Amino acid sequence: MELLRFYCSDLNGSHVELSSEETHHLTRVRRISVGDKVELFDGRGGLATAVIRDTHAKKTTLKIEEYKIIPKHWNTSVIIAASVAKGERFDWLIGKCTELGVDHLMPIICDRTVKQPKNPAVSDRWANIAIASAKQCRRLYLPRIDSPMYLEEVVETLKTQSPSARLLAGSLSGQEPALISLPFNDCDVAAFIGPEGGFTEEESAFLAAHNAQPVRLTETVLRTETAALAFAAILTARRNANNCSKP
């Protein structure tokens, strides 16, 4: 039987402490108590088996019994750069992309973006959603999630951090090549997904000027979060297939 898994950002040392959020999940939701054994992950490949030594309202102390680092079996990144969707739809996008194995999420503020988040707390909420999803799907590496940026800032960030990344842009025209038919080299891939109504002509021209290839996913018009999920599923599946023989 698999041990329940919890998040701990720092697994260094023989004893570690869980945050108040993880303590609540451990003691109030899962009803785990002193002496029980659990797994801990740090979101960077670290995995530990630990025994609960003490619990309080806002923290839990555990003793590490075994610790190891699980290396990634892939060397390229899947990047989803999507317009921020209204309501809880972007929260859903964060969770599902985490489950699928997306490495980097870049929220975009476009001209037609309905909701333009300005509250810094939104980044904390998205991080917590990714942690919860990683625990559920037993993913060891958390995705990087940027604060919302304008389209130009996203492209400049990619040029600096992933200069060899192949850029793709979701198209609503229906005349572009299908994503699933494209050949892929062993490189990072960044998919740009626009807001309701798609990218403006100026935004599409800007992406084209930076060598972003327009592609279609289906014959139907997809919501932002649905398109992001489709991109994530196809791109991570192809990456995983290319790396299936690697340790």
Mean pLDDT of the chain: 92
Read off the pTM.
Answer: 0.92
Residue 219's pLDDT band (cuts 50, 70, 90): confident
Where do we find the tokens 């791109």? 235
Task: Please give the Cα distance from 59 to 9 (Å, whole number).
Answer: 14
Q: Which amino acid is at 88?
A: E
Residue 245's pLDDT band (cuts 50, 70, 90): very low
Mean pLDDT over residues 159-181, rounded?
A: 89
Q: Which SS3 state, helix, strand or coil, does residue 41 take?
A: strand
Q: What is the pLDDT of residue 37?
A: 96
Domains for the chain: give ranges and CATH numbers: 5-69 (2.40.240.20), 78-242 (3.40.1280.10)
Task: Please give the Cα distance from 34 to 51 (Å, whole number).
Answer: 8
Q: b/e map of 10-47 (b: 16 or more CB within 10 Å)?
A: ebeeeebbbbeebbebbbeeeebeeeeebbbbbbeebb
Mean pLDDT over residues 182-197, rounded?
A: 90
As a whole-number percent, the residues of the chain with pLDDT over 70 amount to 96
